[in-house]
Amino acid sequence: MRNVFNNPYPFSDDLKHNTKIIFFTSLGVFAFLFLFQPFDINSLPVKDKYYLLSGLAGITFLALSLHLLLIPSLFPKTFNTEGWNIKKEILWNLWILFTILVGYFFFTNALGAMKFGFNMVIKLLLTAVVPISIVIVVNHNKILRSHLKLADELSKKLKENKLVQEKIVYFDSDYQKDSLAINVSLLLLIRSANNYIEIFWKDAENIRNQMVRCSMLYAEELLKDHKFIFKCHRSFIININYIDRIEGNSEGYRLFFENINFPIPVSKNSIGRLRELI
C-alpha cells in the first residue's frame, strides 16, 4: 500500500490551464449552490442569498488561485512534476479542501446568514469536495490526453529521422579491466548504477551489457558530439535510433527498446528536446 502512494503523479504546473479550471470551477460552485441549495438558503432574503452564493464562489476562486497558481510559482522546486507523487497530491488537495472549508466557515459566520453547526460542517465539506474533485479529474485527464497524443506523434516519426554516425568511443573505467570500446552507432542506452554506468549495445542480433566504473557526467561528455545520443533522464542516456516505441500516460512518457525488458522514463524538461531530435 505504501508503494502505491509513492507512485509518481504529475503536478499540473500549466498556469494557463489552471486559470481556466479555477474560473470555471468557481462558476460551477455558484451554479451548484444556486440550483441545489444545500444550505437551505431558500428562507434567506434574495439579496442575502446572492451575497452568500457569490461569497462562497469567491472563496473557492481565491483558495484555488492561491494553491494552484501563486504558491507553485513561488516554490517551483517543491512542486516539481518529477518529484510529485500520489501521496503528495492527496495531502495537497486535502489542505486545499481545508482552506476552502475554513474560508466558508468565517464568511458564513461574518455574514450571519445561517447557523454554523455540525450539519453545516458536513454540508460545507461535501460542497468543497466538488471543486477539488473537478480539478483533480480534469487535470489528470488533460495531462493523460496530452501525453498520449505527443507519444503517438513521436512514435510515427521515429523511423523517418534516423541519424547514423560510425565512430569508436572508449569508456575508460576507474578499473582498467572494466574499460569498454564500442561503435557509437551500436550503442543502445546507458543506465546509471550508483558509482557505475551500465552500457547496453547491439552485437549482431544480440544485446550485450557491461558495467563500467565511471560517472554519467563522463559518459555524457564523451558522447556530446553525437546528435542521436540523448540524455532523456538523469539516470539514462539513449540512442534515439533504437527507440522501438514511445508511450505516454498521466505520469509522463516512457521509451521502449526492442529486447530491453524495462522502460526508460523521459523527464519533463527533456521531452521538448526529444521531440526536436525526432
CA gap 30, 48 in Å, rounded:
14
Judge if pTM exceeds 0.75: no
At residue 188, the pLDDT reads 93
CATH of 161-277, picked from 1.10.10.10, 2.40.50.1020, 2.20.28.10, 3.90.320.10, is 2.40.50.1020
- Find out whether 35 and 94 touch, Cβ atoms under 8 Å: no
At residue 29, the pLDDT reads 79
Please provide the average confidence, as pLDDT, over all residues in the chain. Answer: 79
Cell of 111: 455574514
pLDDT digits (tens, 9 = 90+) for 22-44: 888 888 878 877 777 766 666 77
- For the cut 60, the answer to whether the pLDDT of residue 159 exceeds it is no
Residue in the structure block whose three cell numbers are 539513449: 238
At residue 192, the pLDDT reads 93
- For the cut 70, the answer to whether the pLDDT of residue 277 exceeds it is yes
- Extract the runs of DSSP E, i.e. beta strands, from the chain: 168-171, 180-183, 187-193, 196-203, 206-212, 229-233, 236-239, 243-249, 252-257, 264-266
Q: Lowest mean pLDDT of 66-75, 114-123, 140-149, 253-262, name the range.
A: 114-123
Domain ranges of the chain: 2-151, 161-277
Q: 273 phi and psi, to 5 degrees? A: -65, -40
Query: What is the secondary structure of 181-207 as a DSSP string?
Result: EEEGGGEEEEEEETTEEEEEEEETTEE
